[in-house]
A and B are shown apart, each in its own frame.
Chain A
Amino acid sequence: MIKAILIFNNHGKPRLSKFYEHYSEDTEQQIIRETFHLVSKRDENVCNFLEGGMLIGGSDYKLIYRHYATLYFVFCVDSSESELGILDLIQVFVETLDKCFENVCELDLIFHVDKVHNILAEMVMGGMVLETNMNEIIMQVDAQNKMEKSEVSWTPPVPCMCMT
């Protein structure tokens, strides 16, 4: 089971947080802070597994993370998940983001966190891996976006503020 998925940047600012178990908002922030603290002090070129996120889970849980440019992608998983498998999953996630946003960068995640959530929802559901095939994920995400667009075009078009 995946217990939490966190994305934050090099300064610890959360870009996405998905907890598959309920915590209060304060605890969530504390977990993000602590995780950032643990992950950020590690050098590049050390292993991507970390034990001892005290707040989440306990001894059965591991933090598995990857660092891409300015962002950390952290999965908190228990022993039923394969460590290398989750690393691959993070890679699939990032590649999917890259395809959906066309050269993804931190700004995409900042301004479109809802879209990132939607993509993630096609990969992981309730803490369990739903789909690992990138093409399938993109297909479903695109289909939903198309549906959204068709609904928007049904209503009178809204002028965009930021153009003015």
Chain B
Amino acid sequence: MALKIVKGSIDRMFDKNLQDLVRGIRNHKEDEAKYISTCIDEIKQELKQDNIAVKANAVCKLTYLQMLGYDVSWAAFNIVEVMSSSKFTYKRIGYLAASQCFHESTDVIMLTTNQIRKDLSSPNQYDTGVALTGLSCFVTPDLARDLANDIMTLMSHTKPYIRKKAVLIMYKVFLKYPESLRPAFPRLKEKLEDPDPGVQSAAVNVICELARRNPKNYLSLAPLFFKLMTSSTNNWVLIKIIKLFGALTPLEPRLGKKLIEPLTNLIHSTSAMSLLYECVNTVIAVLISLSSGMPNHSASIQLCVQKLRILIEDSDQNLKYLGLLAMSKILKTHPKSVQSHKDLILQCLDDKDESIRLRALDLLYGMVSKKNLMEIVKKLMLHVDKAEGTTYRDELLTKIIDICSQSNYQYITNFEWYISILVELTRLEGTRHGHLIASQMLDVAIRVKAIRAFAVAQMATLLDNAHLLTGNMQRNGICEVSYAAAWICGEFSEHLENPMQTLEAMLRPKVATLPGHIQAVYVQNAAKLFATVLKSQEGNTDSTAAQETSQLMIERLPLFVQSANLEVQERASCILQLVKYIQKLQQKDVEVAEEVSALFAGELNPVAPKAQKKVPVPEGLDLDAWINEPPSESESEDEQPKAIFTKEETKHSRPRHIEVDEKELARRREARKQEQANNPFYIKASPSSQKVYQDTPGVEHIPVVQIDLSVPLKVPGLPMSDQYVKLEEERRQKERAEKKKKEKKKRKEKRSGRGKKHDSGPESEEDITPAHMVDIVTEEMPENALPSDDDDKDPNDPHKALDIDLDNLGEMAGRRPLADSEKLPVRSHRAVEAAKSPGEDGDAETVATQQPKKKSGKDKRDDKKKDKDKERKKSKDEKKKKKHKHEEKEEDLLRGEVHEPVVQSEGISQVAELPTSTSAEVSDLDFWLSNAPVPSNTQVESPPLPLPLISSVNTPLIHSMNYWSVICCFFSRNLSLYCLPMWISDLFFCLVLIFLTLVFFDTASSLKGHITLSSSILQPSSV
């Protein structure tokens, strides 16, 4: 033995430890990868040794390598070995490694269940602590299910250090195993009033995290939190609670009213900026929830805005940022009070910090009015020119469009100006938001009828100069704009001044380099234009012009017929045949223009984006039913979703994804090549055949050098938004002058009538009339559209499973106590032991009531003395386990025996008169909210002692008469409380037994079916 130890330590002498490894890596800067791979080989050797110290050292080094990006999952089993070491030093190393590299698909995790359970019940608090910390990082659904009960027991551990960790980890357990939430919740709630502030803070933390996702289930805790808020001095806890209230108030406006006062007090009194900021935030949330009416809260708004202004003016950039962030929340409901700080916000736009500029941009959204929109956008356009980074510039672009298009173009008085702004934006080099500009152009042109002529003229110029404006079109998102331009020119071609010229522009060979979906639009709209041109040319007596137009089409369209894009090809060949036919007719001097334009007759109405979704499903149509048999699994795997209809969407999705996709594609391609190279049966392509074919033959083979001009070209004929600004100002002045005249007249009339003074204050927003009366067409929706609008919820959200009604749980109402299936599974090895010693079952029954007493005594002793003798303790552990088993068995037995009488429905009416618990009031939200005074401390302080226990049994009887639930409820309470002073539960047991026997004698067994059913439910849990 001694020899082995000596040998082990000699081995260790020659092993590198973590420090040596780090030093080595630093000394091998140039060939780091090689050095590390030799180190990994050494580590593999070390892991093969028996000495646990060597193994732990190796695992420690692996943890470091994992941080550097090396996959160490191959050592997972060794990590488990180190975790199970009896020495804390090694155990800690093991758990750290596990927390860094274990995850749900690590298969050795299954092996850790018993080890973790052992550590959790270790007498050494740090063993338990380390296990809890590790577990919090790699808990899986299986671990959560198996260990939930153990962790729940730890929540009532004597050491606060363990309690707080156990409380925190429960959140992770809930996430992985949502069924545990209901049974564990009562105890979690108790921890809110734990004497130790750390535990209390942990419980607040967990409940806030739960409540944030499903706030409505936690409303009943509001009184408790309110009490904590008014009594706690820990800023961390306060911040969490105040944040939680912010989430709760939208659901219960009465709560908001109650909160305003203490929160304002806090705002005035606190010196901590973080707390002040959260208070302001929650007050804002309250005000939003109360936004309708309540004029007397304007003082609170003023207070908030005033405090925020102080934050924004602060030299600390962090406070400035947060101030703006909070300001944007007020903006939604109280825009007026924010607008008065416009100067400050515009000032922030010039800040050197990008985060702050972005926040200020958010606020601008609410700053605009009809009056200042042009001015603000002008300022933003200046920023666009100055902006150096593309992300900030893109952000500016989207903000400009957002601001202008908000609430149905409410603030735009001059659409000519807006179109010219859009056209100016197309000159941005390398923006990703081409589609956004395009959709705005389309939207305006379609919905604002009065502007169409102007828009069409602009778009025609854009099409003409497309090659100049957008430079390298293919790479740019900006080419989407030509999609809009082509469509507008085609659809509203009657407004075109020179349709022939536009038609030619659309059929230029260079169009074939555009993406497929844009080409398709070009082709289709060329046909529309063709119809218009024909119509105008046939009007003239000169018939050759019309024939020339047809000839042009016939010459240019074959280019598109050869396109690789299916859509382009199909449209082009259809139209080509059509034009050929028209040409034939023309040669016979037949008038065709009428018929051709009939192809595109009729107005296209705008349709709301969600209209399709809102079409109600006709009665009798089951959309989920299969029309044909579902295809087999293997087929569906091979088939990728076809991108015919999704193409548009991928264009619009964020480019980040595209990039990742491309990378992924490249990676796959690489992998495939590798595979092919290694596959002897794969016929490799000769390098010569790897020519890349262009999509389009002919002219496009000739490489065209594109000139990338960084300076935006000023194209003559394109509008400048500034000129419209000037025009608009002139127009307004004129209007104002006219109005003054009118007012003077009115005043004169009034003076003659009455002496009352007419207030002609500064021009109000409503006074500005739009340049031309604009008829903004609203989008169409299907008849009887469904009003619901809940399509943005993520079905994969893990928090969805935690949306569980907790109000009635363990509380007095008893409407839905724990069902049998909801109970936490107890230790799994119990079944095996039960099989080993069947004789004990009989004992269990007889000793039933004494057993818990003994155990509790032993528990206490265990905790007090730190054991020296390991052997003895082991045996004790075993005994304890057996006793556990007894207890549970006894409960099961009791339940089975007790069940018979309880299913009866008679004889309970007397019991129903029993007094109900007073503590029910505490959780009664309505009661609390209707009572103005702050609840006193005494109200909530009823300890979880006999009285509430009994009432928890009795009140369900009163309310629901559901006896099965009574039993469940009783046992769940009892189970979770066996660490309380045992005489209480003994007393309680006796009471219940007496009560049950009474009922038993009173009734006959009329419901046998019910009994057998329930006992069959019991069986799986008792085996």
Contacts and interface: CB of A to CB of B under 8 A. Distances in A.
A161 B13 contact: yes
A54 to B, nearest CB: 5
B353 interface: yes
B604 interface: no
A25 B205 CA distance: 30
B414 interface: no
A80 B209 contact: yes
B355 A51 contact: yes
B161 A47 contact: no
Interface string B179-193: 000000000000000
A29 B165 CA distance: 29
A131 interface: yes
A14 B9 contact: no
Interface in B152-168: 161, 164-165, 168
B12 A118 contact: no
Contact of A126 (B5, B26, B169): B169
Interface in B75-107: 87-89, 92-93, 96, 100, 103-104
Contacts of A161: 13, 17, 20
A43 B352 CA distance: 9
A71 to B, nearest CB: 15
B321 interface: yes
A144 B88 contact: yes
Interface in A142-156: 143-144, 147-148, 151-152, 155-156
Interface in A17-68: 17-18, 20, 22, 24-26, 28-29, 42-43, 45-52, 54
A162 B22 contact: no
Nearest to B236: A132
Given A25-B69, A130-B164, A113 B356 contact: no
B367 interface: no
- The binding surface of chain B is classed by DSSP as helix
Nearest to B277: A84
Contact of B20 (A20, A43, A121, A162): A162
Nearest to A140: B161
A103 to B, nearest CB: 19
A83 interface: yes
A88 B275 CA distance: 12
B724 to A, nearest CB: 34
B537 interface: no
B88 to A, nearest CB: 5
Contacts of B353: 42-43, 46-47
B274 A84 contact: yes
A81 to B, nearest CB: 9
Interface size range of chain A in the complex: 35 or more
B236 A128 contact: no
B103 A22 contact: yes
A39 B277 CA distance: 24
Given A84-B318, A84-B322, A85-B239, A128 B205 contact: yes
A110 interface: yes
Nearest to B315: A45
A93 to B, nearest CB: 14
A151 B352 contact: no
A138 interface: no
Contact of B5 (A84, A112, A155, A159): A155
B168 A46 contact: no
B656 interface: yes
Interface string B113-133: 000000000001010011011
A87 to B, nearest CB: 7
A156 B5 contact: yes
B13 A130 contact: no
Nearest to B133: A121
A98 interface: no
B108 interface: no
B136 interface: yes
B534 interface: no
A85 B9 contact: no
A129 interface: yes
Contacts of B161: 140
A70 interface: no
B777 interface: no
A148 B88 contact: yes
A147 B88 contact: yes
B278 interface: yes
21 contacts: A22-B103, A47-B355, A48-B317, A48-B318, A49-B355, A54-B656, A80-B212, A84-B273, A84-B277, A87-B318, A112-B19, A114-B18, A114-B96, A121-B130, A126-B133, A126-B136, A128-B206, A129-B236, A147-B89, A156-B9, A158-B13
The 7 closest A-B pairs by CB, nearest first: A126-B136, A84-B274, A22-B103, A47-B317, A46-B353, A29-B69, A47-B321
